[in-house]
Amino acid sequence: MKPIWNCPPAMAKATNHAKGPPMTKDQAPPEIKPLSAADLEAVIAIDKATTGLSRRGYFEKRLDAATARPRDYVYVGLHEGGALAGYAFAKLVNGEFGKPGAGAALDAIGVAPGHTGRGFGRHLLGAVEDILRKKGVATLSSQINWSDPAMSGFFCAAGFDLAPRLVLTRSTETIAPQLPGERVDDWDDEPDYSAPDGDDADALSHDRVPVRSLRDTDLRKIISIDKASTGTDRSDYYERKLHESLFQSGVRVSLVAEMEDYPVGFIMARVDFGEFGHTSPEAEMDSIGVDPGYQGQGVGRALMAQLISSLAVLQVETLRTEVNWDDVGLISYLRSCGFVPAQRISLVRQLG
């Protein structure tokens, strides 16, 4: 059933404040074109003017990734009078969380304060959507703070609906150890939750189930584990994740669990300062999987414990993930690991 999201008139108009000056008769019309390295400082300045914070590291990494693998990203800027007046970034996430079909996420969009109220944001979003359609992308998603009426109004007026997804989060405090005699997992069968899901935590991950960093030689096994659980070959998806992990330093934390020196599970998280407009050090977990032959042996718990420990060392404050609202098994597992509902809303727009 399609979610119902009525857009109140007041909310739909929430982005029309602080209007900039109208275009003069001799002024050239705005132009939308791909961003380049020369636009980086202007992007950072617009973002700082609208958020009050400098997210240089985030935009540097995002633009580097976009120019290195342009087929996986959309990055456009709106120029007026020779200056950048707005920008938008989106990335392909096809295959994420086991969902079929190509999808993309809009994770950054901004308009310079002096140019608001003139429809520039909608023009940028429209340009992103046109490019994604040409790439064969069927859906565009994003997240917003539930209490942000301006962004709610913007996305509502642009045709976005509530997505049937839940955003969950937890701090990077250590996961509570399991007591002797406890089941090593919270379910009998520990499926692959790659979605679009002593006695301390370090001892658990290093002694009972050793966990190490991902290596390029692990790719085939990761794809095999995922295919055994989902029935789908998502090689392109994991090749992209491996590239991010190995060549975008500081962006991705990816781990592999071993038993008898054999890879039996994996977990992947991305560390981004500023994704979806979030302005605190946060990571997003987007993939976790366990070999069917080793399910029920604590592999998933060990992976999560080591991920939390690694993120804490990096001074990441929170870990976020997104799950289908009716995926009871995954939600139960995440709840046992300390996840709670985030104060964020997941949105989606069909591009067909």
pLDDT of residue 28: 64
Q: With bands split at pLDDT 50, 70 and 90, how would you rate the model's confidence at 272?
A: low
The answer as to whether 313 is a domain residue is yes
Residue 297 has a pLDDT of 87
pLDDT digits (tens, 9 = 90+) for 127-147: 999 999 888 888 999 999 999
Exposed/middle/buried for residue 345 (C-beta within 10 Å: 0-12, 13-18, 19+): buried
Q: Tokens for 14?
A: 């929430």
pLDDT band at 176 (very low <50, low <70, confident <90, very high): low
- Is residue 220 domain-shared with residue 97, that is, in the same domain? no
Q: Quote the CA–CA distance of 165 and 322 in Å, as a whole number.
A: 6
Which of 119, 137, 155 is the last residue in one of the domains? 137
**Is 324 found in the same domain as 213?**
yes
pTM (predicted TM-score): 0.77
Structural domains counted in the chain: 2
Q: Is the pLDDT of residue 167 over 90?
A: yes
Same domain, 195 and 324: yes
Do 252 and 318 sit in the same domain of this protein? yes
Name the band, by pLDDT with cuts 50, 70 and 90, for residue 24.
low
Return the pLDDT at 205.
41
For residue 97, what pLDDT is reported? 33
Q: Give the end of a domain, one of 117, 137, 157.
A: 137
115 and 175 share one domain: no
Report whether 343 contacts 147 (CB < 8 A): yes
Q: What is the pLDDT of residues 318-348, one digit of tens each?
A: 999 999 899 888 898 899 899 999 999 999 9
Check if the beta carbon of residue 255 is closer than 8 Å to that of residue 270.
no
Q: What is the pLDDT of residue 74?
A: 92
pLDDT band at 232 (very low <50, low <70, confident <90, very high): confident
261 has a pLDDT exceeding 50 = yes
Checking if the pLDDT of 9 tops 80, the result is no
- Tell which of 122, 137, 152 closes a domain: 137
Stated as kind and residue range, the H or E segment containing 51 is helix 40-51
Q: Taking the CB of residue 350, how many other CB atoms lie within 10 A of it?
A: 11
Listed range (81-90, 144-153, 212-221, 240-249) with the worst mean pLDDT: 240-249
Domain encompassing residue 278: 167-342
pLDDT at residue 63, as a whole number: 82
Question: In this structure, what CATH number is given to the domain that contains residue 205?
Answer: 3.40.630.30
Q: What is the pLDDT of residues 25-68, one digit of tens each?
A: 555 678 999 999 999 999 999 999 988 877 887 788 778 877 77
In a domain, 65, yes or no: yes
One-character DSSP codes across 288-313: EEE-GGGTTSSHHHHHHHHHHHHHHH
pLDDT at 52: 83
Q: Which residue has the tokens 């120019």?
A: 67
